[in-house]
Structure 1
Amino acid sequence: MTNRNYSINTMNNFIKKLLGFSVGPVAGAFITFITIPLTTYFIDPNEYGKASMFSLFQMIFGTLFYFGLDQAYTREYHSSSKKLNLFQNALLIPLAMAFMLLIIIMIFPSMTSKVLFNSSELKITSILFGVMVVSMVIERFILISLRMEEKALEYSLVSIFTKLAILLLTLMFVIFIRRDFLAVVYSAAIGQIVADLYLVIRYRYLFSYKEFSLDKKLLKRMLWFGLPIILASSLSNLLNSLDRLSLRTWSDFYQIGIFTATLKIAASLAVVQLSFTSFWVPTAYRWYEEGKDIKYFKIVSDSILLLMSILFVIILVFKDLIVYLLSPEYADAKFLVAFLCLQPILYTVSETTCLGIVFSRKSYLGIWVGLIAIIPNIIVNIILVPKFGAVGAAIATSISYIFFFIARTYFSNKNGMRFSVTKHYIVISLLLVGAFLNLASVSWIFIANILLLILLSVFQISTLKQIWTIYKKKDLKGLRLTQNV
């Protein structure tokens, strides 16, 4: 095979698999898009704010119990010949921790209910929380297994099934049973558990321990890689939680509800984030093992930056229509959406610029990334949330993720993944300016957003040329991948 055909096939296969992994998240996003206005129509912001705290604690406990072994599993996958035993060794500790939490909750349900909901009466809901954490851990490792095997269709179908289960249960609860925060909690929890039961049955071969052997050397290596990720993940969780925790401290459940509903709108970009990262992580590891030229990584980075920035402006142009679907009670969400959309954009793009960290196995650098991001988050939340509520929290989140991107990119560059990101910083600056402009409710904001789109296109004209060259099937060796913008 000629180098020209090899290059073309590499990028064509990349695009095909990316599209395959995107089917589920995109379809899931469509289902979620139906679920959000349905929920916000029947449930007021105060109740929605309470429900968000359940999801917040669920995320915190789930991530802690992974012990970084989920990331270690992806790192070891392509270098391991015994993949089933690798899966089972990686799952062992997180699953044991999740079951320990469930047992503690079952012994002290009232205390757990008090911590979660500020009420000691919701014992069944507390136990459901514990079951859901166990379910989440199992789901996490099964989905990683599908990702690493690059089974795009199966991965997508699972995403669709989970979202569909939650939608149907939400309909049942808000129409026939109740219209408070527990409707959101029960529908999300039961839907998730039902979907995960299907996963366990469908992939039960992963839990066949007949040939299991505890590989202490492997487990030690994975823990050595994963333990720093616990601290990094804890900082990341805190980074993603400080907005709502700050609102809970200095504001009220109404502001939390508005903020959470806006996060759901920003989830339209998180769909792209999920689709891309689900495929990109195993692909990047494989490319690294195959010794792919850095130009391939740069093409992907520039392309995802272009895509995410264009989607950002599209959301700004239609933000009034999108927010209208939530119900009039959530009208203030239109002032937050631009800032909260920066979070999935910056995280997704950073996944293409941080690879030097994981390739060098220096997972401890994630701790420094978390600290660098969380300090400005705390400072801005303290300054802005008491006065501006949800708007202040949204600004704090966006600024902290800019520091998150800078730190990830810097440490990656220092560890071998060196390509120019000048273009990235110009585009990010323009997006931040656009977010502040959209705080104003003025007649000329539509024109300003169109001008922003033009500016973004001008600064990324080289990326457009690269994509056009690939589309026309020209030799990728001829692409101009200089260190300039």
Structure 2
Amino acid sequence: METASTPPVDAVKGDTQARAKHSSTNRQIRGSSLMLVGRTISMVANFAIQVLIVRYLSKANYGAFAYAMSFVTLGQTIATFGLDRAITRFVPIYHEHRDYNKMFGTILLVIGTIVSLGTLMILSAYFFQGFIGQTLLNEKEGDKDQIIALLLILIGLAPVQALDDLIASMFAIFASPRAIFFRKYILSPGLKLSVVLLLMLFGSDEFFLASGYLAAGILGTTVYGFTLFRTLQKQEMFKQFHFDSLTVPARELFAFTIPLLTSDLVYVLMSSSDAVLLGHFRSTTEVAAFRAILPSAVLNQFVLQSFTILFTPIASRLFARQDYEGINNLYWQTAVWTSVLSFPIFALTFSLSAPLTVLLYGEKYASSAVLLALLSFGYYFNAALGFNGLTLKVYGKLRYIVVINIIAAVVNVIINLMLIPRYGALGAACGTCGTMIIHNFLKQAGLRFGTGISLFEFKHFKVYLSIIIASVALLVFQSLMPQNYSPKHPYVYISFAVTGVVALAVVALNRKSLNIEQTFPELLKIPLMRKLFT
């Protein structure tokens, strides 16, 4: 009688590791899919909130609110200091190695940095409010007081949102994606929407909106922090906390975060510095004209940002195998992918910028249509060239990244100083668009001469040519339509219908070029994506 043979120990161990790896991959895919759904919900909610605010407030009052919020965006980036990403890199490593002294030391360092920088910003705003009013604002005294008052309320959001980003990073390490999904993509937009609805219900002003935003931010972060505390408590993490033996790897952390921080500062400067310079040289009405349509232009980055998490692991594995040809193919395949899938948004925000602006924000913002077209072109140009910045990071070209980020920031400020005093919001849009194009050319040069990735793959010429032809055709078509953009006018909806058909035609024409099965096979595990591309 034969007995079943017992598999070798190594085979059992290998099979166990394979199953664990497969399980981890599945969890990553499910988590990425959930985050994509969450980002979509949050994007739609935040976009709707912004449209409601712009339409409800007067142009001057919205400009004052947007001016103050530009300081919050800049302050949040400075307070975070890129350390939320250091958390997601170093804490899992220390946790895996059971080096709890470094793990808790890292967490406390990040919290301390955010709280210290945030407190410093709040105090600076209070102590230098007179200086800000006299040197940065070109308004009447009464209007200056209004803007400064809004700034003093909203500046508290900078450290609050920075702490919120930190807690989200901690949840990514110690909790499930569902916790992030609920807090970041459901609770946060829900609280903001509640504030805006109350604003409209009670007929309140921008001070109610600012106070409500601050209260919503504090409430959301408090709930998030308490939930994280309970999660760590259930996992018995605090039993490993010993204050006397903490180790703070400050040099290692800051060496990692500072290069990444320069990338953040470039994009923040391109939006925040515009608002500050417009407030200084022109007026908050010009700030409103620029900031109102900015979220619509940024929608062109949605596809690129949503699937960053899928690109980096694949590129890193190819780099570890020294498969540089594979990285080149991956890079250009994903560039084509983001170009095609982002085109419907680009078609609306660029070719149909005039009717879209009036439809969303009203006749008072009709002059902002050209600004939307310029900004959309810049953001789409960035998306169409794919993950060039991430690829440079995969190759370890951090010094080059820092240098070109500084160049881009300086160029942006110089162009704005030249154009904004004379052309106002139009100059700011030209400066931002021009800077994004220059920055991307510098990144492409780094890829070509620093990594060997080709400057352009001519096998994808048809894809980019179809996008250019479709964009120009839609622009010409729109110029031939009656220039009446009232929502009651039927020609407006004809324009949107034609744009939708052309956008779908571009996606369908280039569907095979996307090569989803090889580029991002994980996407085919998402039912909607599988139906769309197979």
Partner of 1:95: 111
Q: Distance in 2 between matches of 1:40 and 1:228?
A: 35
Partner of 2:404: 369
Q: Deviations over 1:122-176 (max 9, x none)?
A: 9986664454222222211222344567954433322221111101012212432
- Counterparts of 1:268-283 in structure 2, within 5 Å, are 268-277=299-308, 279-280=309-310, 283=313
- In the alignment, is residue 411 of structure 1 matched against residue 446 of structure 2? yes
Partner of 1:478: none
Partner of 1:315: 349
Letter in 2 for 1:72: A
Q: Distance in 2 between matches of 1:126 and 1:334?
A: 28
Does the 8 Å contact 2:300/2:380 carry over to 1? yes
2:247 to 212, 215, 218: 215
Does the 8 Å contact 2:371/2:429 carry over to 1? yes
- Counterparts of 1:95-174 in structure 2, within 5 Å, are 95-101=111-117, 103-104=119-120, 110-114=126-130, 128-129=153-154, 131-147=156-172, 151-158=176-183, 159-174=185-200
Give the deviation of 1:260 after TM superposition: 0.7
Q: Distance in 2 between matches of 1:92 and 1:394?
A: 40
Does the 8 Å contact 2:57/2:205 carry over to 1? yes
Does the 8 Å contact 1:49/1:254 carry over to 2? yes
- In the alignment, is residue 238 of structure 1 matched against residue 273 of structure 2? no
What SS does structure 2 have at the residue aligned with 1:203? helix
- Counterparts of 1:275-314 in structure 2, within 5 Å, are 275-277=306-308, 279-280=309-310, 283=313, 287=317, 291=321, 293-294=326-327, 295-296=329-330, 298-314=332-348
Q: Distance in 2 between matches of 1:88 and 1:435?
A: 55
Partner of 2:360: 325
2:437 to 402, 413, 425: 402
Q: Deviations over 1:314-367 (max 9, x none)?
A: 434554145323222122222222222245435556662223432344433232
2:70 to 24, 32, 56: 56
RMSD over aligned Cα atoms: 4.5
- Counterparts of 1:245-260 in structure 2, within 5 Å, are 245-260=276-291
Deviates more, 1:349-358 or 1:326-335: 349-358
Structure 2 gap ranges (5+): 1-14, 16-22, 138-143, 483-494, 523-534
Q: Compared with structure 1, are the counterparts of its residues 18 and 438 closer, same or farther at alpha carbon in structure 2 (3 Å cutoff)?
A: farther
What SS does structure 2 have at the residue aligned with 1:418? coil
Deviates more, 1:381-390 or 1:392-401: 381-390
Partner of 1:482: none
Q: Compared with structure 1, are the counterparts of its residues 422 and 399 closer, same or farther at alpha carbon in structure 2 (3 Å cutoff)?
A: farther
Letter in 2 for 1:176: F
Give the deviation of 1:203 after TM superposition: 1.2
* TM-score, normalised via structure 1 length: 0.77
Q: Compared with structure 1, are the counterparts of its residues 228 and 459 closer, same or farther at alpha carbon in structure 2 (3 Å cutoff)?
A: same
Q: Distance in 1 between matches of 2:36 and 2:99?
A: 25
1:463 to 507, 513, 519: 513
Partner of 2:216: 191
What SS does structure 2 have at the residue aligned with 1:257? helix
* TM-score, normalised via structure 2 length: 0.71
Letter in 1 for 2:294: L
How many residues end up aligned between the 2 structures?
Answer: 463
What SS does structure 1 have at the residue aligned with 2:214? helix
Q: Compared with structure 1, are the counterparts of its residues 133 and 37 closer, same or farther at alpha carbon in structure 2 (3 Å cutoff)?
A: closer
Partner of 2:296: 265
Does the 8 Å contact 2:266/2:409 carry over to 1? yes
Does the 8 Å contact 2:65/2:150 carry over to 1? no
Give the deviation of 1:231 after TM superposition: 4.4
Partner of 1:480: none
Higher relative contact order, chain-length normalized (CA < 8 Å, sep 6+): 1
Q: Deviations over 1:61-81 (max 9, x none)?
A: 221233333343444466542
- In the alignment, is residue 442 of structure 1 matched against residue 479 of structure 2? yes
- Counterparts of 1:381-396 in structure 2, within 5 Å, are 381-396=416-431
Give the deviation of 1:263 after TM superposition: 0.8
Give the deviation of 1:22 after TM superposition: 1.5
Q: Distance in 2 between matches of 1:71 and 1:105?
A: 22
Letter in 2 for 1:202: T
Deviates more, 1:88-97 or 1:281-290: 281-290
Does the 8 Å contact 2:358/2:366 carry over to 1? yes
Q: Distance in 1 between matches of 2:80 and 2:151?
A: 21
